[in-house]
A and B are shown apart, each in its own frame.
Chain A
Amino acid sequence: MIGKIKIKNTLVANFTVMILLILVIGQGILYAWLMLYQRSYLKDRLRDEVAATAGLIRDAVTMGHDSKQLDMFLEMAVKSGTILSVKIIDVNGNILAAKAVQYKEEGSRINPFFMFYVPESNIINLPVKTSASGGGKDAGRIEVVYSGRSVNEVMRRFLIIPPFMQVATFLIVIYAIVKFFQRKVGRPVKRINEALARATGGDLTVELSEFRDDEFGSIAEGFKFLIGRLTSTLNKLRSMSEDVSMAINQLTLTFKNVNQGTQKQTEAINEITTAIKHAGESHKQITEDTGKLVDFSNENVTSLLEMKATGDEIALSTGRLFKAAEDAYSAVAEVSQTAKVIAENAGEASSAVEDTSAAVEEINASVKEVEGNARESARLASNTRAMLGGQCLDEVSDAITSMDTLMSEVKQSSEIVSRLSGRSADIEKVLKVIKDVTEQTNLLSLNAAILAAQAGEYGKSFSVVADEIRGLSDRTSASTKEISNIVKTIQSEIADAVKAIDSNMNRAAESHTLVYKSGEDMARALEVAQKSAAMADAIERATGEQTKGLKQIAVSVENIRKMMEHTAKATQEQQTGTAHLLESVSDVKDAADIVKRGAEEEAAGIKAVSTNLELADERIKQIGEATSGYQKVNEGTADAMEQMRAIGMAAVKDVEEVSISLTTLSKEIELLKKEMEAFKVKNAK
């Protein structure tokens, strides 16, 4: 852009040519005027001389000299060399006397300086009059032809010598001017030019010093001042762009943290969701088991009712037996002879015993069934307990731990995002400073352009610098606007993220309470399950005791049957003594007593079992209700978790968008930085 100026455009050349033109034109006009004046002066003098000679001849003619004397006069006139020929002519045109000199005719040369020359031949006619006494009439005329050669020779000398002198003087003057300009103007201009070329190339380290206190000195001062201002502005811009770059790097780092946090959060939520799903499945199992348990307890109740009926039958039979035995005893005691009655009674007793035995068998079967059911109940109850106590509680406590982690993660995210918000406010501040600097640069460029334009020819190259600065400030302004827009986008996205995180927090808190509630419900269900297990155990134990009692009854009834057979034999024999019989009947009475006690015991056992079973039934129903309630809670938790996960995903998306914006911003800043680095600047002092 700025280079060597062509020699014909240099000020020195222009100036020199100008001076030369003025000198040549001025001198030329003066010289021409002088020459013309000289010529007319010389010409007039010559003419006067010739006229004087002609006058002498006229006087001679008038005075009436004879022709010989006249001829001598003419000879004298021609001898001088100036006069070429003399003729004396009378009134009628007859030549009275003539004299001419023989000279070389040089021909009519075309003289380039004709205006400075006198023609080669000139004619003067002088009229001759008769003397005053003769009447003063025209007597004729004298014609003199003279040459301008002598004048021309003088003129030629004047035309040749002075121009040569002038040329020599001009050469000396030109030399002096060129030398002077090279010293005073050429060198400083060259230095300023070089400095400008370097500055335009982006090198702001140029130094301009040792200038005299003239116009170049002030231009150099102005240039130095501008370079200084530009350097400081560039330094400011550079540090600014580095600050922005650092801030953005920090932002990017912070964002990565947020990203990780959010991902962790999403993972935690996924874990919780899985845990809650597991808990739900377990709960379904529990509900099914509890349903089965309820069925079983219903069956138990039916069995118990059957058993009670059987027990009542047994009691009736036992009562009959007892009565029969007592009757037999009193009969045997009172009547020893009435064997028939005895035999009848014994037969009756025997059939009663048979009935009893069958009833006992039946009871035994019922009790076995009850026992089986009770065992199944116990197993299911312990299953429930194990399920509630083990896996489920673990899962719930896992969920609570995850919830706590989630809460702290969300809180952390919230803090990070609010820090991010603060950072973007910092960026805004920095941008404001950049905007101020850009405006300052713009002003600087305008002032520089004005200075350059006022400097005229010298400022041309300088105005290129001014344009560059202006372009830089325009570009910076555009970049600043873009960055400002991006920062605004980031801020709104951060606000979105803050909203999302806030709603996340609320969701997490809700889920937290839900999970805690479900944990409490679980604990309550566990308690109920334990109680029902204990109940089932008690039922099992009671049933076992009952079975034992029934075995005793069976053994006793067997004994009675044997006794009865024995009695029957004895009755058949009828030989045996009544005392023996009595003894035997007494034995029967004792046995009947035992049977009665066993039956009573059994009734009590059945009552206990029945009460326990009813209790268990109630408990199981409670478990069922609690479980279904828990399941509802669980479903609510699962929904909340799903919502939370969706919000988390949205947060991740927001954060990713912010991340993309940040990357764009970072690129912009890099571009700006590169732009700045194109300028080579002295290190800031």
Chain B
Amino acid sequence: MEKFAVFKIGEEDFGVNINRVVEILKSQKIYFLPELPDFISGVINVRGDVIPLLDLRKRFGIHTGAEKCRIIVVRCEDEKIGLLVDEIDKIIPFHPEEISAPPAMFKGLKTEYLTGLGKKEDRIIILLNIERLLTSEEKIALQSASLTADGLSNDS
């Protein structure tokens, strides 16, 4: 049985394995740094840690009118990444039989982003694969960006 932190973007429910989750934050001040890759909205300062912020709403092309926003900090190959989402719902445990393999395309999302689809009480929760959320070029860009950010934070 695996547990997933379930969050909302627009009308859709997404899940991240809680072993990936570091913490959940309120909306924070987002700093813009020069030479950040396009897919990174900025960086946030979490108790001295500079964490790049990935706006999942932009990433998935879901336009929401939500005023509220939350940040889930996840661990992705030893790097922490903040994911900007609308709202955190709750922690939901899934039995393996409740998770089905994703179809080739689901609601316009490429399957490579997904671990599977979790079904629970009429809800379908899109379970994200954090590792595949970024392409390898993006990962390299992110690493160099976080190096720059670390350098900046050390300088300051």
Contact = CB atoms under 8 A, between A and B. Distances in A.
Query: Is B truly associated with A?
Result: yes
B23 A447 contact: yes
Interface in B1-47: 3, 5, 18-19, 21, 23-26
B91 A449 contact: yes
A454 B19 contact: yes
Interface residues of A, number: 11
Contact of B26 (A440, A449, A470): A440
Q: Name, among B5, B19, B24, the residue most crowded by chain A CB atoms within 10 Å (CB to CB).
A: B24
Interface in A441-456: 443, 446-447, 449-450, 453-454
Interface string A301-312: 000000000000
A450 B18 contact: yes
B123 interface: no
A450 B26 contact: no
A470 B89 CA distance: 11
B55 to A, nearest CB: 19
Nearest to B24: A446
Given A449-B90, A450-B91, A443 B25 contact: yes
B26 A453 contact: no
Contacts of B18: 450, 453-454
A439 interface: yes
A450 B15 CA distance: 13
Contacts of B26: 439-440, 443
Contacts of B114: none
B88 interface: yes
Interface string A420-459: 0000000000000000000110010011011001100000
Nearest to B7: A446
Contacts of A454: 18-19, 21
Contacts of B21: 450, 454
A453 B3 contact: yes
Nearest to A449: B91
Interface of A is mostly: helix
A446 B90 contact: yes
A443 B24 CA distance: 7
Contacts, number: 30
Contacts of A446: 5, 24, 88, 90-91
A535 B117 CA distance: 112
B25 A450 contact: no
B24 to A, nearest CB: 5
Q: Name, among A439, A446, A454, A470, the residue most crowded by chain B CB atoms within 10 Å (CB to CB).
A: A446
B6 to A, nearest CB: 10
A579 B91 CA distance: 156
A443 B85 CA distance: 14
A614 B61 CA distance: 103
Interface in B82-96: 88, 90-91
Contacts of A463: 91
A446 B88 CA distance: 8
Nearest to A463: B91
A440 B70 CA distance: 11
B70 to A, nearest CB: 8
Contact of A453 (B24, B25, B88, B91): B91
Contacts of A443: 24-26, 70, 88
Contacts of B3: 453
A463 B5 CA distance: 13
Contacts of A439: 26
Interface string A7-27: 000000000000000000000
Contacts of B5: 446, 450
Q: Name, among A450, A453, A470, the residue most crowded by chain B CB atoms within 10 Å (CB to CB).
A: A450
Interface string B85-114: 000101100000000000000000000000
Interface string B56-91: 000000000000001000000000000000001011
A217 B21 CA distance: 21
Interface string A452-496: 011000000001000000100000000000000000000000000
A450 B90 contact: no
Q: Name, among A449, A453, A454, the residue most crowded by chain B CB atoms within 10 Å (CB to CB).
A: A453
Contact of B23 (A440, A450, A453, A470): A450
A533 B148 CA distance: 110
A454 B23 CA distance: 11
A447 B71 CA distance: 12
A446 B91 CA distance: 8
12 contacts: A440-B26, A443-B24, A446-B24, A446-B88, A446-B91, A447-B23, A449-B90, A450-B18, A450-B23, A453-B3, A453-B18, A454-B18
Given A443-B25, A450-B23, 14 more contacts: A439-B26, A446-B5, A446-B88, A446-B90, A449-B90, A449-B91, A450-B5, A450-B18, A450-B21, A450-B91, A453-B18, A453-B91, A454-B19, A470-B90
Interface of B: 3, 5, 18-19, 21, 23-26, 70, 88, 90-91
Interface of A: 439-440, 443, 446-447, 449-450, 453-454, 463, 470
The 6 closest A-B pairs by CB, nearest first: A453-B3, A449-B91, A453-B18, A446-B24, A450-B21, A450-B18
